[in-house]
Amino acid sequence: MKEPEAASVEMICSVSELANLFHQGQDLRGFLSQVVQIVSKHMQADVCSIYLFNEQSEKLILQATAGLNSEMVGTLTLNTGEGLTGLALKELRPIREGRGRDNPYFKPIPGSGEEKYESFLAVPIIRGIRRVGVLVLQDEKRSRFSKGDALALKAIASQLAATLENAQLLMERPRRGEHPGISWGTGRLIRGTQVVEGVALGEAYQMEGPGTLDHRLYACDDAYRDTLDDFRRAIDLTEQQLEELQNRLEQELADVASLIFSAHLLMLRDQGFSGTMEDRIADGARPCDAILSVANEYIDIFTESENSRMREKVLDIKDLGHRILKNLTDEEGEHGDYDGQIVLTNELLPSELLKLAAQKVEGIVLFGGGATAHVTVLAQSLQVPLIYTEDESIFRIPANTPLALDANQGILLVYPDESAIKRIRQLKEGTDRIAGLAEMAKPESYTKDGERIYLRATVNLLSDLKLARQLKAEGIGLYRSEFPFLIRSDFPSEEEQFRIYKKVVNGLEDPLVTLRTLDVGGDKILSYIPESQEEANPFLGLRAIRFLLENKKVFVGQLKAMIRAGRSRPIRILFPLISSLDDFQNAKIIVQKSLNFLKRDGLGQYPMPKLGAMIELPSAVEMAPELAREADFLSLGTNDLVQYMLGVDRTNEKVADLFDVRHPAVLRAVKRVADSAKEADCPLSVCGIMAKDPKTVHYLIGLGVREFSLEAAKIPEMQEAVSRMDLKKAQSDAAILSRLGTLHETREFMQEINERSEVQIER
């Protein structure tokens, strides 16, 4: 038999070609039978069969076979858990037997012709929360299938899953004249793109952001007969709940959540708001109608405002009105929370997201990719599963409709059936296993052949530090300092910043801390700087270090706070979006000035901290040799590097396919930076998208990079992947990759690397 590695690569290529054929409208059965022919040929197995799972009947149906009796196609059915094939689906794991009949679950199927086959290998085909089917190999010889074969078959199953899922849906679709009840499952599937991974079950909550026509609250039920006393109780209860929420947030998210519910609280006690409601009730209006009418009047006024910050308040009023109404009409009192709800919306502001997360929202579906990059990052830190969708029908889903969200696959299921709910619960248990991950994490990371690799944490919020500690991050490779600036309505004071940075600096046992200076501009707009909203091309505008060099007071304030926070431990300060040596030198002058100010003001004498430049622009790549000599360290920001190298907006869904880290220009740029750092003996760390994908980490290790900064939650799996990497192999792969000239070739080569177990995340 061929080496499994080589066989699988070859086979996967053929199978993916077939998947393309299928998309071009090939006959379904013909497609499936070609798949089984190819797989059986490449795996040199006597039999290959595909069973697809019918969600309506809950049965597996044989849909194609090479080797078994072909007359059974379409008629042979198995229950979940029936026989070894059913067992693979039930337990969602590969079943590999040297002699199938030795397994107590073995159940020969009369007439299938399988009696003579001894070896058995089945892998489930899963697509997110959907069980799609089972791929089975059989062979006359005993103990024919190795662990490597199981891995290869798993890779094929995942490669084919999307196409087979479509096949499954098409095969289950009711045909003309058939009973309408025989449809594919009870659920309707809405597709989107993953923004923050995770899964959720909940009921629909239509939020509607500013910009939509209808943010008004709905009419009251005629049955409500509440009194003025009930209204006052509802107001008191609302105030109490908001204060509790505020306190909880201040503890959990001290850096960003200061007074986040202040608008709610101020409004609640405002005479024009609750006072007018009271007046109308005193004049005979039902409390429910009074709340509705006043809240809606405010909503109308704020919606029409010229001022964007006023318009942002519409959602606060809606949220507040919703909460008061709930407290008035529901007896238990525990309301206004988003616990058990999946929010559907067309816009999401960072403050809104924080409020939703604080109120325990299960997940979010965002129409039209309306979230900016910092909302995405924030949602990641808050661990709220989130997808984008272009499907407008989400707004027609009635409130409280049961939903299942699989953000990992970018899928929303409306009215999920039992099997989807069960699967989501299983996945949720899987993702809730931080304790397991913590046990798995080791304090240090090494490649298979003992090369030391440093996996540091990227920290966005103070709340990320706990996970970074639990998962044994080796210091902080990147602290994004902008969140305290983004959520507030004015610049945080130097004192406020100092308190936050101190917590970051002392957050981990490992003393390495990299504080990045403010990266605002681009899509990270500070609502209190109106000029920043007027740029035609904000990503090419006054962003990051450019903003700070123009706003020296803000720069000095931040640097002083950072330097003071580093009193007990040395810190590294990192400047984002450096485009020239001059930028770096100018920033360094401001650091020196900040040190002088601290000394002059009697706030202490500090040594010059280590200063680093982020390499994110093609101009910085070009200047990397000089920057590496000038700076104390370099940090390669690969999210922006890809954006600016390829001219592809990282936040624009329409060009998301073009945002490809495997582009030869990106791979070569990264190599130039790695070579320059090596040459100047300057420490280089990589952060952003390339630091969290084992394939690109393999490439980077091959280039000589040893430090990576990534979200703490990803560290244990990356550590595991790194421990299977071989330095020599990584070096030879990197040498090949950096010479390839087309995206087609780099993609193929990366795919090949991906098929090898050393760069796959083991689940």
Binding segment for ligand PEP (CB under 6 A), chosen from 401-409, 487-495, 634-642, 672-680, is: 634-642
Binding segment for ligand PEP (CB under 6 A), chosen from 25-33, 240-248, 638-646, 731-739, is: 638-646
Closest CB 706 distance from ligand PEP, rounded Å: 18
Q: Which pair of structure tokens corresponds to residue 263?
A: 């608008």
d(CA 564, CA 499): 10
Binding segment for ligand PEP (CB under 6 A), chosen from 449-457, 483-491, 635-643, 693-701, is: 635-643
Among 362, 640, 726, 755, contact with Mg ion (rule: CB under 5 A): 640
* Interaction partner, residue 480 (Mg ion, ligand PEP, none; CB < 5-8 Å by kind): ligand PEP
Task: Give the closest residue to 131 by CA, choosing from 391, 417, 385.
Answer: 417
Q: DSSP string covering 218-265, please?
A: PPPPTT----HHHHHHHHHHHHHHHHHHHHHHHHHTTTT-TTTTHHHH
Residue 187 in contact with residue 401, Cβ under 8 Å?
no
Among 616, 707, 755, 758, contact with ligand PEP (rule: CB under 6 A): 616
Tell me, what DSSP letter sits at residue 95? E
Among 4, 637, 694, 702, contact with ligand PEP (rule: CB under 6 A): 637
Which residues are bridge partners to 50 per DSSP? Answer: 64, 135
Strand residues in 234-362 grouped as ranges (E): 341-345
d(CA 689, CA 709): 10
* Interaction partner, residue 638 (ligand PEP, Mg ion, none; CB < 5-8 Å by kind): ligand PEP
Closest CB 638 distance from Mg ion, rounded Å: 8
Among 157, 467, 471, 687, contact with ligand PEP (rule: CB under 6 A): 687
Alpha helix locations (H) across 24-139? 28-42, 83-91
Nearer to Mg ion, 640 or 726 (CB): 640
Query: Is there binding between residue 362 and ligand PEP (CB under 6 A)?
Result: no
Query: Is there binding between residue 4 and ligand PEP (CB under 6 A)?
Result: no
d(CA 318, CA 367): 19
Closest CB 195 distance from ligand PEP, rounded Å: 14
Closest CB 645 distance from Mg ion, rounded Å: 13
Please classify residue 241 by burial: count the beta carbons closer than 10 Å to its beta carbon, then call 0-12 exposed, 13-18 middle and 19+ buried: buried
Site residues (CB under 6 A) for ligand PEP, limited to 222-251: none
Query: Is there binding between residue 637 and Mg ion (CB under 5 A)?
Result: yes
d(CA 205, CA 186): 20
Q: DSSP string covering 675-742, please?
A: HHHHHHT--EEEESGGGS-HHHHHHHHHHT--EEEEEGGGHHHHHHHHHT--HHHHHHHHHHHTT--S
The amino acid at 483? F
Closest CB 482 distance from ligand PEP, rounded Å: 8
d(CA 664, CA 660): 10
* Interaction partner, residue 11 (ligand PEP, Mg ion, none; CB < 5-8 Å by kind): none
Closest CB 516 distance from Mg ion, rounded Å: 9
Query: Is there binding between residue 480 and ligand PEP (CB under 6 A)?
Result: yes
Query: Is there binding between residue 406 and ligand PEP (CB under 6 A)?
Result: no
Nearer to ligand PEP, 386 or 424 (CB): 386
Q: Residue with the closest Cβ to ligand PEP?
A: 688
Nearer to ligand PEP, 215 or 572 (CB): 572
* Interaction partner, residue 49 (ligand PEP, Mg ion, none; CB < 5-8 Å by kind): none
Residue 661 in contact with residue 696, Cβ under 8 Å?
yes
Closest CB 366 distance from ligand PEP, rounded Å: 19
- CA-to-CA dists, residue 175 to 19, 57, 73, 75, 417, angstroms: 24, 16, 19, 18, 21
* Interaction partner, residue 687 (ligand PEP, Mg ion, none; CB < 5-8 Å by kind): ligand PEP
Among 246, 329, 638, 685, contact with ligand PEP (rule: CB under 6 A): 638
The 254-293 site mask, x for binding ligand PEP (CB under 6 A), equals ----------------------------------------
Query: Is there binding between residue 385 and Mg ion (CB under 5 A)?
Result: no
Nearer to ligand PEP, 616 or 733 (CB): 616
Binding segment for ligand PEP (CB under 6 A), chosen from 157-165, 197-205, 303-311, 632-640, is: 632-640
Strand residues in 24-129 grouped as ranges (E): 47-54, 59-66, 77-79, 95-97, 119-127
Side-chain-side CA neighbours of 689 within 13 Å: the count stands at: 17
Alpha helix locations (H) across 617-692? 618-622, 624-630, 638-646, 664-680
The 508-547 site mask, x for binding ligand PEP (CB under 6 A), equals -----------x----------------------------
Nearer to Mg ion, 255 or 640 (CB): 640
Nearer to ligand PEP, 136 or 636 (CB): 636
Strand 513-516, strand 193-196: pairing: unpaired
d(CA 94, CA 157): 11
Number of residues that bind ligand PEP (CB under 6 A): 10
Side-chain-side CA neighbours of 288 within 13 Å: the count stands at: 15
d(CA 445, CA 459): 19
Among 406, 640, 707, 758, contact with ligand PEP (rule: CB under 6 A): 640
Binding region for ligand PEP (CB under 6 A): 478, 480, 519, 616, 637-640, 687-688
Binding region for Mg ion (CB under 5 A): 637, 640
